[in-house]
Amino acid sequence: MKLLVSGGGTGGHVYPATSLIQYVKAVEPDSQFLYIGTENGLEKKIAEDAKIPFESIDIQGFRRSLSLENITTVKKFLVSLKESKKILKKFQPDLVVGTGGYVCAPVVYAAHQLGIPTLIHEQNSVPGIANKFLSKYTDKVAICFDEAASFFPEKKVVLTGNPRAQEVAEVSPSRILETYALDPEKKTVLIFGGSRGAYSMAKAVTEILEELNQRDYQTLIGTGNLYYKEMVTQSKGMHLTNVKIVPYIESMAQVLASIQLVVGRAGATSIAEITGVGLPSLLIPSPNVTNDHQTKNAQSLVKKGAAETLKDNELSGKLLLKKIDALMLDEEKLSTMSKASKSMGMPDAAERLYLLLKEIQ
């Protein structure tokens, strides 16, 4: 199989693409791959780290309000459409998959114009602009939440889940926490603000670092690159031995398999990872996303008893600590939430997506 994938902007669009590629590599070792993204996007680093061939195009997203910038966006779309066609003709893929973000719009649309089978993968309960647009031209639409189906042509929609869930579900507990100078035998909570970090979460966590350091459980904090230096500066003189602060969690799958609770945003890929492992979670949906889709993502877990939530505009260090304590110190609650989370996971999501690709190939 010659597979071309495109998606970017956030890890939530990129990791499903790379997880799918890893699965296809395992079942069809002779396959060839190409990733198309933006030169300065997160997708370039992730693809290159995974040793996936990468090509870039110059594209930007639409402003939601009236703006002269949208004229530039249209011009860039037309140029990137032409460039995408050149790349497609050179690589000659059997299939093209878009995983969301504005970068995949010209790529998948170009593939449609060239008669190449296409599929888009929507991770969230409420789709973004790019996937809504592309659904008119693609052969199939793979979704992760039932709630997303109503936004797309009914005959094209298939529930596959997020391939990242299968990748994470196959990882066993390990002593990975030792690499973060933490005790692998001790109960651990991960506080993670996403690939970019989250200001409100970083602020609240900074307020309770000393209290977290005194707990019977330990804490691993992924701040995101934007807030790492500030939190480290604020923690100077605290002598933190029970808390580890890092800018980013490189070994996320291994970490998730070795902890007891996740505190974080409610992005679709995060939820796929959490339910893939079967972890309890305390979710703080970002208010800065399209159609408040993270709140809708989180509610799917809350309804099943797999998660609890906190509103971003109500977040404070005191309330966050109270919520974490209530969960981490209640073994029965954690166990019940874990079972509910596991029941929602789709450990065969990558296989489902692969079989859908074979169907349209």
Instruction: State yes or no: 11 annotated in a binding site.
Output: yes
Instruction: State yes or no: 294 annotated in a binding site.
Output: yes
**Rounded to an integer, what distance in angstroms lies between the CA atom of residue 96 and that of residue 232?**
43
**Rounded to an integer, what distance in angstroms lies between the CA atom of residue 325 and that of residue 333?**
12
* Closest CA relative to residue 215, chosen from 237, 250, 178, 187: 187
* Closest CA relative to residue 283, chosen from 269, 299, 272: 299
Instruction: State yes or no: 120 annotated in a binding site.
Output: no
Pairing state between β 54-56 and 32-37: parallel
Tell me how long the chain is: 361
Strands (E), the chain: 2-6, 32-37, 54-56, 95-98, 118-122, 140-143, 157-159, 188-192, 218-222, 243-246, 261-264, 281-283, 307-309
Contact at 8 Å (CB) between 265 and 222? Answer: no
**Rounded to an integer, what distance in angstroms lies between the CA atom of residue 120 and that of residue 109?**
11
**Rounded to an integer, what distance in angstroms lies between the CA atom of residue 104 and that of residue 123?**
14
SS (HEC) of 176-210: HHHHHCCCCCCCEEEEECCCCCCHHHHHHHHHCHH
Instruction: State yes or no: 249 annotated in a binding site.
Output: yes
Summarize the annotated binding site for UDP-N-acetyl-alpha-D-glucosamine as residue ranges. 10-12, 124, 195, 249, 294
Summarize the annotated binding site as residue ranges. 10-12, 124, 195, 249, 294
